[in-house]
Amino acid sequence: MELRHLSDILRPESVVVPLQARTPEDAIDVLVNSLVLDLPGNSGTRQELKAAILAREKVGSTGIGSGVAIPHARSRSLSYPRLAVGLGAEPVDFRAADGEPVNFVFLLAVPEAAPKSHLTILASLSRIASDAKLLRRLKRASTATALYSLLADLPL
């Protein structure tokens, strides 16, 4: 499967506005739940994926600055990359490099056997986050539907 746009890995159901979270763990929990709703054996997948993302977060913060975090992990439970996005009502302290709290979270999960796509998608998400004009538009979305519409056709 060739990945061209965010809509190739992002479903409307995996966009959460407003993301209700007080901690990075809360945000990760909500977004993981939105990712695994349609997966068989989703309870085990949810636990495995959340544990992998939290383990990665312990290695170093995924708060990249400008109010954005990209928690991510590889998972043996997935057969293709998945993305969830949350726009928070209240900022969360992800211990970002710039010291600013986070209100926009991309949560990425990729198959364990796909390290190349993992890096490619992370680079694409970082480019989106570094485009100040685009990021302002994304952060002004008032509904999940509006945010998904802005994200869907963005290139990977």
- What does the radius of gyration of the chain's CA atoms come to, in whole angstroms? 14
Angle ∠(18,111,154) on CA atoms, nearest 5: 50
Q: 85-118, pLDDT tens digit by residue?
A: 999 989 999 999 899 999 999 999 998 887 678 8
pLDDT at residue 1, rounded to an integer:
64
Distance from the Cα of residue 102 to its chain's centroid: 12
Catalytic annotation, residues: 72
Which of 133, 140, 124 lies closest to 7 in space, CA to CA?
124
pLDDT band at 75 (very low <50, low <70, confident <90, very high): confident
Q: Going by C-beta distance under 8 Å and a sequence separation of 6 or more, which residues neighbour residue 95?
A: 61, 63
Could you name the CATH architecture of 6-152? 3-Layer(aba) Sandwich (3.40)
Residue ranges covered by each domain of the chain: 6-152
Q: Which one, of 156, 97, 94, 96, lies nearest residue 127 by Cα?
A: 156
At residue 37 the predicted structure's pLDDT band, cuts being 50, 70 and 90, is low
> Given this model, what pLDDT does residue 79 score?
83
